[in-house]
Amino acid sequence: MLRLRWIVRIVIIAALTKVAVAQGNEKHKTVLDGVFTAVQAERGKAAYAAHCSSCHIEDLSGLAAPALKGEQFLDNWREDSLKSLFTFIQTRMPQRAPGSLKPEMYVDILSYILSANTYSSGSTELSADALGSIDLVGKDGPAPIPKFTLITFTGCLARAGDEWKLENASAPVRTRQEKPADGEVKASAEKPLGTGTFRLVYLDSLSPGFLPENHVGHKLHAQGYLLSNEKGEGLSVTWLESVASTCAK
């Protein structure tokens, strides 16, 4: 009897520990962690056949529409939360009737797209609420953000000869627009600075009225296309906005 009680206790402690670990890692879940079920992907396959395959083809290889599997597709959506891909699909697809499906059906279709991209299923269904805390990464796990994609970060404006730079930059994150969305600039104001440096290119395409010489040493919200070459990282700027007139940490 005593033994049984101990076994029960150990099982409970083990279960609680697992829950705590799972909560601690919640932010770092990726599509490699089995984030949908096989049954869900099957449901998604049927919905895909009915609503998507006429343009993207039964095997997702695309034709007139882009492929929904393979390297190019993953490069479009990796190093970002699943929510970005989901939001695109839900608000833009099927192309002739955007938003016309039930949210759960969109989630099922997303599960099917993941399974067709050879990500493994797991024991818990994917839910709309979880999308923001799951990152889409390639088969080898997290990798650098692909070049020429839209990113955003915060940094300190500095001049080096003819060039402008953002120093002490936070780690860039992917974004989907050239201009900040609601709340994005405010979030930058609160974001801690980091250790990156980005050359700024095409400053002339900036919002009228932003003169870099008026913002030297300011903390800026930056948005644009990621460049990368032997000189280091750069940003083809689409938006700069001062979020603090000092860069003191």
- Binding positions for ligand HEC, rule: CB under 6 A: 51-52, 54-56, 65-66, 68, 73, 76, 88-89, 92-96, 109
Do residues 199 and 233 make contact, with C-beta atoms less than 8 angstroms apart? Answer: yes
Q: Of 115, 119, 99, whose CA–CA distance to 60 is shortest?
A: 115
Q: Which residue's CB is nearer to ligand HEC, number 96 or number 102?
A: 96
Q: Which residue's CB is nearer to ligand HEC, number 150 or number 156?
A: 150
Q: How far is the CB of 144 from ligand HEC (least distance, A)?
A: 19
Q: Which residue's CB is nearer to ligand HEC, number 68 or number 220?
A: 68
| E strand or H helix that includes residue 4 | helix 2-24
Q: How far is the CB of 120 from ligand HEC (least distance, A)?
A: 20
Q: Which residue's CB is nearer to ligand HEC, number 51 or number 219?
A: 51
DSSP SS3 for 91: helix
Q: How far is the CB of 84 from ligand HEC (least distance, A)?
A: 10
Q: How far is the CB of 50 from ligand HEC (least distance, A)?
A: 9
Q: Of 131, 137, 32, whose CA–CA distance to 83 is shortest?
A: 131
The rounded distance, in Å, linking the Cα atoms of 126 and 113 is: 12
How many residues are there in the chain? Answer: 249
